Amino acid sequence: MSVPDRSNRTQGIVGGAAAGAVAYVLGYLVVYVTQGDRIEEGLSGINFFADLFGGDPISTWQAAGWMFYNAHFVDVNAPSLIGGAQSGNLITQADGGSLSLLFVLPPLLLIVAGLVAGRTAGASDPADGAQAGAFVLAGYLPLAVIGAFLFRYSVGDGTVAPDLVTAVLLAGAVYPVVFGAIGGAASSLLSD
């Protein structure tokens, strides 16, 4: 194992953070673009009643955010009609298996981000590459936290939003570290 110099380590951190941020934004955009019509159609009945009773309609961009977090196995919490709260995953509850392909999206994007981070850091062995790839956390985690708050919809006294704990821990930390490290380790195989 080679000892990375300070310059490569800094490049790895910066490259990892940038790649992590791009992976998060790109993942959300893929969900929004590919599922927007389906989401809008699904929300039409709910939004009709929300409008009828003077509430704000649920935006497609918010529901796309819920689905993006669901792709990380993060449930969305919503108030229940009889009090309390319920949680669910829009992907697993949907009819049809094509939607389940969204579960592959975050790992795939994070592996690519880790690959980019490892290449940026000049990783020459899998351990250095994995370390550089894990730095995608620096860009992905802050956006995962912001998104968990941004994709909130107020309804009565409650909110519909991704579960904050799993949004931060699972989507924001575990996913980028694990899949970024895999991509970073793989990047060492591509080194000159």
Instruction: Write out pLDDT tens, residues 166-177.
Output: 999 999 999 999
CB within 8 A of 116, min separation 6: which ones? 15, 19, 183, 187
Decide: 90 and 76 in contact? Cβ < 8 Å: yes
* pLDDT tens-digit map of 117-160: 999 988 889 999 999 999 999 999 999 999 999 999 887 777 88
**Exposure string for 64-83, b = 16+ CB within 10 A, e = fewer:** bbbbbbbbbbbbbbbbeeee
* pLDDT tens-digit map of 25-69: 999 999 999 998 888 887 766 654 555 555 677 788 999 999 999
Q: Does residue 86 sit in helix, strand or coil?
A: strand
Task: Give the sheet arrangement for strand 76-79, strand by strand.
Answer: 85-88, 76-79, 158-162, 153-155
Q: Which residues pair with 161 in a beta bridge?
A: 77
pLDDT of residue 1: 45
CB within 8 A of 72, min separation 6: which ones? 106, 167, 170, 171, 175
Q: Which helix (H) or strand (E) holds 78?
A: strand 76-79
Q: Is the pLDDT assigned to residue 70 strictly greater than 70?
A: yes
pLDDT of residue 168: 97
32 HSE (CA, 13 A, CB side):
12
Q: Is the pLDDT assigned to residue 4 strictly greater than 60?
A: no
Counting every residue, how long is the chain?
Answer: 192
Q: Which token pair is 152?
A: 């909130």
* pLDDT tens-digit map of 77-129: 988 767 677 888 888 887 666 688 899 999 999 999 999 999 998 888 999 99
pLDDT of residue 6: 66
CB within 8 A of 3, min separation 6: which ones? none
Cα distance between residue 168 and residue 111, in whole Å: 19
The chain-wide mean pLDDT, for the chain, equals 86
> Could you tell me which residue, 1 or 172, shows the higher pLDDT?
172
